[in-house]
Amino acid sequence: MCTLAGIAILLLTPEAQAIPAFARKYNVNCTVCHTAPPVLNSFGQRFLENGYQLPGTEDGGTIGKKQLGDLTLDDVTNYLAFRMVGNAVRSWSFKQQNPPGADRGVAENKTELTFPESFVLFTGGTLTKNVGFMVELGHDVEGGGSDVERGFVTFNNIGFHNLAHVRVGRFDPNAFYSYATVRQQLGEVGESASTCAAFSPCTLNRAGLAPSAFAAKFYGLYQRDGTAISPFAASLFNSGGETGVDVHGRPFGDWFLYQVGIVNGANEGFGDSNKGKDFYGMVRFDHAKSHNFSANLSGFVYLGRSNAKVQSQDDVNWNRYGLSARATYKMVDLYAALAVDKINETPVAVAGNFDSTATGFTIGADTYVTDKTLLSVRYDNLDGGGMLDQRTSSTFVGTQVKHFLRTNVALFARNDFNVRKAEGGDAAARNLRYAFFSGIDVIF
Amino acid sequence: MRSRIFLSVLLILAGGSSLVFAFKPEDNQATSESGRLIYEQSCIFCHGADGKGDGPAGWFIGRYSAPHPRNFTSEGFKLRSTVSGSLPTDQDLFRTVTQGIPGYMPPFSGLAEEERWQVVAYLKSFNPAFKEEKREPLTIGYPPFPSSDEAIETGRNVYLTYGCVNCHGLNGKGDGKESLEDNLKDARGLRIQAADLTAPTSFKNGATARDLYRSMMTGLDGTPMPSYANQFPGKDIEAWGLVYYILSLSAERKP
């Protein structure tokens, strides 16, 4: 039997970062690579793709070997950076279901004073010509755990410039997608879950707030060890970190990017418990030339092989197909993603009580209204799949205002509305009335 | 190879920097075409396909304020060694590509020297005036005397007398009256801040004594920083005194 933590109040999950180490290294402001950190502009995207080398270059950035005694603090800070992000105030309103059915309808209206609770230390850059690396160590104070969010090595420009870049290790598969999971203005907020046994229905008290296109979407889906998979958590191609190898490049010019990869599988920690490996492929079409305008369109296929189980403990292949688009004009950044999740060959044991298809749609926009103030809005719709007696669809609208005191210090206030709360019901997707956060985001 | 090394050594001994012409390819169509390929991988995202400074990433650099990426087709150039109103020399362009602009453009020293010259050849193709105009650098000599308390005091008096204080402020932090009142605009009408003279690593046109002297004499076209070339003929003591005074303001200055 496996038991989840009691009430697991997850917070703003550590996510990929703006990397001020790179800004220090090249003596430029964050805005050279970011529309608004951590979201990349077209130049920053090409820098990322090129393994943390400036677009068009292959020099590795820092040249020369120094004796230990000649190292300066600058040499160290060019590779190290830190981010602290989280809330000073958070406020929830939802009806609790803990345990399932027992306390049905218990209202939770709570406002808490807290402090920035998520810390990320990351080191990255280039080791030599066309060899780069990135390690992100995240710590969540309330969750109590530290983890390597991502840790990988890149080998770049294999063959000829931009033909093939290889990543090996634990990385975010959709780093080059039009809408990247770990580069959002309205970050993921975890759900509140009840204790539940392995391969048993697991009641959520409160929905998580993540882009629905990236979410797992299925109710009654489990990891191979029996741990319930949250329908709201980012997964598969859109997970924050999977272990494997992938290759990307732009062999025909800037207009086209390809990416293929093989990873251990969805929701795998260190090691591999899956029977098979997961495969994915992504293509992206870009227009980024002039008139202060850029646009891109991406599509991917992610094929899971025995990467999840259903309640009957039968293996299933969990696949995802997605489209994403982004358009940027001057200070306005529009993005959208649609994903269809499909369970191939529903096991007989759950057939008739299982919807094998789920979809998620997310559309959002960010815009600067002044040099220092960023407004963001996001709409999410999740048509849940999985066990019919558990699944619930949800629609949320999130808004955020973020004010940058400096380019690397920002205050934010965010409010998420549950558009479907009036439909009633006790499922988490109905229970959540509102969620308000106000906090600080510091990167150094 | 030997002759190249010998030539480089000669140039360095002659007072040249690492930014030498040793590998400068012939300025022809083939060179420009090679430069285009590099430009479209490295520069297009800010400067745009037509060199108009309207690349998709450009707006985010300064947002609603200056600087925005250079429009190579028509605008004046800030970073030059030529008289105000003139186009920059090839060497000026090469220097900017190589060193970047602190805060706003990374140094592209990772490109081979020949590649940087090819980029220079290509970006000149955006503006026909590069072919027509004779671009002569001002003569920037070496400091005729070392810094001293007396020279710095002279420079401070010049700083106050010539109105530098109005934009750069009494302590050089870029907080002069004109700056605080948001009266400073660039040629595009975007709000621009006066340079913080206490932070030389942020100086766009370089932070050595000669760089500062050059900025004073050429001005930064397209910004409120004028050329002072006509104010200082025969006034080396005042001009270099001002340079030393600005250097003395630096919080980053080594003891």
Q: What is the pLDDT of residues A203-257, one digit of tens each?
A: 777 888 999 999 999 999 998 888 889 899 899 999 988 999 999 999 999 999 9
Shared-domain flag, residues B26 and B120: yes
Q: Which of B98, B132, B166 is the last residue of a domain?
A: B132
For strands A293-303 and A278-288, give the pairing.
Answer: antiparallel
Shared-domain flag, residues B31 and B125: yes
pLDDT value at residue A66? 64
Closest residue to A368, CB basis, from B45, B63, B102: B63
State the SS3 of A120-141. EEEEEEEEECCEEEEEEEEEEC
Provide the percentage of residues in chain A whose pLDDT is more than 70.
Answer: 87
- Count helices and strands in chain A by DSSP H and E runs: 4, 26
Shared-domain flag, residues B31 and B123: yes
The minimum CA-CA distance between A86 and chain B, rounded to whole Å, is 25
Written as six digits, the tokens of B37 are: 């390929």
pLDDT value at residue A287? 96
Which residue in chain B has the smallest CA separation from A43? B45
Q: Which of B107, B132, B157 is the last residue of a domain?
A: B132
Shared-domain flag, residues B162 and B208: yes
**Which residues in A lie closer than 8 A to residue B104 (C-beta atoms)?**
28-29, 32
**Does residue B13 fall inside a structural domain?**
no
Whole-angstrom distance, CA of residue A254 vs CA of residue A365 = 24
Give Cα A138 distance to the centre of its chain: 14
Structural fold of domain A20-443:
Porin (2.40.160)
User: Which residue's entry shows tokens 């879950």?
Assistant: A193
Spell out the per-residue pLDDT of chain A, length 444, in tens. Answer: 333 333 233 333 334 445 678 888 888 999 999 998 899 999 999 999 999 999 999 987 655 556 667 777 777 777 888 888 888 888 888 776 655 555 556 677 888 888 877 888 888 888 889 999 999 998 876 666 777 889 999 999 999 999 999 999 999 999 999 999 989 999 888 887 776 788 888 777 788 899 999 999 999 999 888 888 989 989 999 998 899 999 999 999 999 999 999 998 876 666 666 678 999 999 999 999 999 999 999 999 999 988 899 999 999 999 999 999 999 999 999 999 999 999 988 999 999 999 999 999 999 999 999 999 999 999 999 999 999 988 889 999 999 999 999 888 999 999 999 998 877 667 778 888 889 999 998 888
Closest residue to A57, CB basis, from B61, B105, B110: B110
Phi then psi dihedrals of residue A413, to 5 deg: -135, 135
In chain A the first and final C-alpha atoms are separated, in Å, by: 43
Interchain CB distance below 8 Å, B41 and A161: yes
The minimum CA-CA distance between B86 and chain A, rounded to whole Å, is 26
Q: Which of B45, B47, B50, B68 to mutate to test the interface with A (most CBs of A within 10 A)?
A: B45
**Which residues in B lie closer than 8 A to residue A30 (C-beta atoms)?**
none
Shared-domain flag, residues B89 and B188: no
Shared-domain flag, residues B182 and B125: no
Interchain CB distance below 8 Å, B60 and A41: yes
Task: Spell out the residues 6+ positions from residue B195 whose beta carbon is closer than 8 angstroms to its own.
Answer: B168, B174, B202, B203, B204, B225
**Does residue B119 fall inside a structural domain?**
yes
**Which residues in B lie closer than 8 A to residue A292 (C-beta atoms)?**
54-56, 58-59
**Which residues in A lie closer than 8 A to residue B54 (C-beta atoms)?**
290-292
Shared-domain flag, residues B54 and B128: yes
**Does residue B154 fall inside a structural domain?**
yes
Written as six digits, the tokens of A379 are: 């709409």
User: Which residue's entry shows tokens 């998620």?
Assistant: A360
Interchain CB distance below 8 Å, A42 and B56: yes
- pLDDT digits over A264-287, tens only? 887 666 666 667 899 999 999 999
- Residues of chain A that touch chain B, judged by Cβ-Cβ distance less than 8 Å: 26-29, 31-32, 34-35, 41-44, 46, 53-61, 161-162, 254, 288-294, 328, 330-331, 368, 370-371
Interchain CB distance below 8 Å, B61 and A56: no
Domain that holds residue B76: 20-132
The CATH number assigned to the domain holding B219 equals 1.10.760.10
**Does residue B14 fall inside a structural domain?**
no
In chain B the first and final C-alpha atoms are separated, in Å, by: 42
**Which residues in B lie closer than 8 A to residue A125 (C-beta atoms)?**
none
Closest residue to A28, CB basis, from B41, B105, B111: B105
Q: Quick one: DSSP state of residue A231?
A: T
**Does residue B81 fall inside a structural domain?**
yes
pLDDT value at residue A41? 96
Q: What residues of chain B score a pLDDT lower than 70?
A: 1-22, 252-255
Interchain CB distance below 8 Å, B102 and A42: no
User: Which residue's entry shows tokens 């190589």?
Assistant: B98
pLDDT value at residue A116? 76
CB-CB contact of B105 with A32 (8 Å):
yes
Task: Spell out the residues 6+ positions from residue B161 whose beta carbon is closer than 8 angstroms to its own.
Answer: none
The minimum CA-CA distance between A263 and chain B, rounded to whole Å, is 30
Whole-angstrom distance, CA of residue B190 vs CA of residue B222 = 11
Whole-angstrom distance, CA of residue B48 vs CA of residue B53 = 5
Question: To 10 degrees, what angle do helices B113-124 and B29-42 make?
Answer: 100
Interchain CB distance below 8 Å, B57 and A32: yes
CA angle B64, B70, B76 (to 5 degrees): 110
The predicted model scores a pTM of 0.90
Closest residue to B57, CB basis, from A29, A42, A371: A42
Which residue in chain A has the smallest CA separation from B53? A290
- Secondary structure percentages of chain A, helix, strand, coil, to 5: 10, 50, 40
**Does residue B139 fall inside a structural domain?**
no
For strands A106-113 and A118-128, give the pairing.
Answer: unpaired
Look at residues A415, A387, A421 and name the one whose alpha carbon lies nearest to residue A400: A415
Shared-domain flag, residues B125 and B178: no
Interchain CB distance below 8 Å, B111 and A328: no
**Complex ipTM value:** 0.89
Interchain CB distance below 8 Å, A54 and B108: yes
Shared-domain flag, residues B128 and B181: no
Look at residues B120, B109, B105, B107 and name the one whose alpha carbon lies nearest to residue B58: B105
Whole-angstrom distance, CA of residue A137 vs CA of residue A161 = 31
Shared-domain flag, residues B162 and B191: yes
**Does residue B5 fall inside a structural domain?**
no
Task: Spell out the residues 6+ positions from residue B11 whose beta carbon is closer than 8 angstroms to its own.
Answer: B20, B21, B22
Shared-domain flag, residues B154 and B222: yes
Q: Which of B132, B157, B179 is the last residue of a domain?
A: B132
Count of CB pairs separated by less than 8 Å, A with B: 112
**Does residue B34 fall inside a structural domain?**
yes
DSSP H helical segments within chain B, as ranges?
Answer: 2-13, 29-42, 44-47, 58-62, 90-99, 113-124, 129-132, 149-161, 164-168, 177-180, 209-218, 236-248
